[in-house]
Amino acid sequence: MSEIKQDANKKGLLVVVSGPSGVGKGTVLSKVLESSDEYVYSVSATTREPREGDKDGVNYFFISKQEFEKRIEEDKFLEYAEYNGNYYGTPKDYVEKKLAEGKNVFLEIEVQGAMQIKTKCPDAFMVFIAPESKEALIERLKGRATETQEAINNRIKIAERELRACLIYDRIAINETGKIDECAADVMAAVRAEKLKPERIFDKIKQFIQ
């Protein structure tokens, strides 16, 4: 897996969004993404079975384990991880292309993958979405009637581990029950403020001061 090389004149921001399963990352992110055409979403590849309502190429690229392992060999992923018995990975080509176009690319990934991104792309901006309480998270996971009790219990265990990793992120946004818009606004504000950092803007200003 190699690092992303960016054109200094066109610097899209790579934004990593993580948070325990059931916290509502997907809903928060869709609100963020619809707020600007400068924001794009990287659709991941996975070996997990599609859930009801999942669309291939929209929610994920659903591929076989064999195909996923072939793509690992071919270095097609920016990062990948095994989660709850399945592979998930970020296609490198799409992310590189969009960043080069100056778009801000959002990755919705779990913490092992986020740590890989932090090492390989230290410029990435890392946002963690946390639940307001453990009870609220468990309720939301139970509400996903599509999964077995065993799968839900496993997700709760993984959530506890993921919440411990939140300190590696640059920002934490709390998704309080019934306050999705506020959480999305926090994420948007964090991303906008990050883009205003002098070191991210200086390349554009340099030409005036030579």
Letter for the amino acid at 180?
I
The residue among 17, 21, 23, 16 whose CA lies nearest residue 130 is 23
Which residue stretch of 102-110, 135-143, 168-176, 195-203 sits at the interface with ligand 5GP (rule: CB under 6 A)?
A: 102-110
Neighbouring-strand partners of residue 88: 46, 81
- The single-letter DSSP state of residue 56 is B
186: contact with ligand 5GP by CB under 6 A = no
Among 33, 35, 48, 166, binds ligand 5GP (CB under 6 A): 48
175: contact with ligand 5GP by CB under 6 A = no
Give Cα 20 distance to the centre of its chain: 11
CA–CA dist 95, 180 (Å, integer): 26
34 contacts: CB under 8 Å, gap ≥ 6? none
Shortest distance (Å) from residue 203 CB to ligand 5GP: 29
47: contact with ligand 5GP by CB under 6 A = no
Among 83, 106, 125, 169, binds ligand 5GP (CB under 6 A): 83
**Site residues for ligand 5GP per CB under 6 A:** 21, 44, 48, 79-81, 83, 88-90, 108-110, 112-113
